[in-house]
């Protein structure tokens, strides 16, 4: 009698899931530069698609007609700075 395998099957992420993960990683890496642009009042240099993605990821929020960093976004920036050090 053959012994049953106890290992879990390997899943290959769908192309769409892989694309979404790559997009999230790109945004995560670009967030400190985006925050710098916001502090310099140069939000016009951030693409509309990136702004929408940051808001959807809860990294930025609209506040009084402007964008500001959320606690989540601040944590992501802090993690990026710690990783770079």
Phi, psi of 65 (to 5 degrees): 85, 0
Q: What was the pLDDT predicted at 69?
A: 95
Instruction: Note the pLDDT tens digit of each residue in 8-63.
Output: 556 666 888 888 899 999 999 999 999 999 999 999 999 999 999 999 999 999 99
Question: What does the alpha-carbon distance between residue 18 and residue 14 come to, in Å, rounded to a whole number?
Answer: 6
Q: What is the DSSP string of 52-82?
A: HHHHHTTSEEEETTEEEE-HHHHHHHHHHHH
Asked whether the beta carbons of 40 and 33 are under 8 A apart, the reply is: no
Question: What does the alpha-carbon distance between residue 34 and residue 67 come to, in Å, rounded to a whole number?
Answer: 11
Q: What was the pLDDT predicted at 29?
A: 93
Phi, psi of 10 (to 5 degrees): -80, 130
Domains in the chain: boundaries: 21-78
**What is the value of pTM for the model shown?**
0.77
pLDDT band for 78, please (50, 70, 90 cuts): very high
């Amino acid at each position: 009698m053959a012994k049953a395998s106890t290992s879990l099957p390997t899943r290959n992420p769908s192309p769409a899931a892989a694309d979404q993960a790559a997009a999230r990683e790109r945004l995560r890496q670009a967030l400190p530069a985006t925050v710098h642009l916001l502090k310099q009042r140069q939000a016009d240099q951030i693409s509309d698609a990136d702004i929408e993605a940051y808001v959807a990821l809860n990294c930025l929020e609209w506040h009084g007609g402007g964008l500001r960093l959320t606690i989540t976004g601040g944590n992501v920036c802090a993690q990026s700075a710690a990783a770079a050090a």
